[in-house]
Amino acid sequence: MIRVVTLDSFDEKQTAKLCQALYTAFGVGSEHSGQKEVPPGMSEPLDAEQLIKDIKGVRAYEDDKVLFITSRKLKERELPGGKAPTTGYALYNQNRAIITTHGHKDFEAAFKPIARNALQQIGHLWGLHHCLDPRCAMYPPWTPSFNTGEPSFCSFCREKSEQKLRLAKS
């Protein structure tokens, strides 16, 4: 089960549409599992890594993947070449990830890049790495074409995620 936990208020229709896209991509159930508060003392821009480690009281079973979604800005990452905006973050091969819709004015209009970002972060939770196929949601998010693509995987990544899911279930 993929549990989408909102950290800000989102239209229920939009979270339902996102869950539907996750279900289509991964073939596992996905639902909006309520809203949580950002831990007290954390201010914007939010430290994605710290936030998803610190957030308490999220009901989930061991095999569940939890995707937090916020409209607030995430702290930029320090890369050797300078600062890079953070659109999402995942604890690789674990069970918690976050995405932000910050920078998109309208959820509906920006649905594809938001869903693509969600697919990528959850893909990382199932151990997927970035992919060189520009049509794939695992394509590196800092590429200019990332935001124009569909929220779906290439056949290699799709198969790899299905394999991981089968292992998790057995």
C-alpha distances out from residue 7 to 24, 55, 66, 90, Å? 24, 10, 12, 16
Enumerate residues 25-44 that contact Zn ion by CB under 5 A.
none
The nearest distance, CB 52 to Zn ion, in angstroms, is 14
The nearest distance, CB 154 to Zn ion, in angstroms, is 3
Q: Which is nearer to Zn ion, 11 or 142 (CB)?
A: 142
The nearest distance, CB 146 to Zn ion, in angstroms, is 10
Question: Which candidate, 54, 17, 15, 60, places its Cα nearest to that of 37?
Answer: 54
The nearest distance, CB 161 to Zn ion, in angstroms, is 10
Q: Which residue in 131, 151, 160, 161 binds Zn ion (CB under 5 A)?
A: 131
Give burial (CB, 10 Å; 0-12/13-18/19+) of 105.
exposed
List, in order, residues 6 or more apart from 140 with CB less than 8 Å away. Answer: 130, 146
Q: Which residue in 154, 162, 164, 165 binds Zn ion (CB under 5 A)?
A: 154
Most distant pair of Cα atoms in the chain: their distance: 43
Interface residues with Zn ion (CB under 5 A) are 120, 131, 133, 136, 138, 154, 157
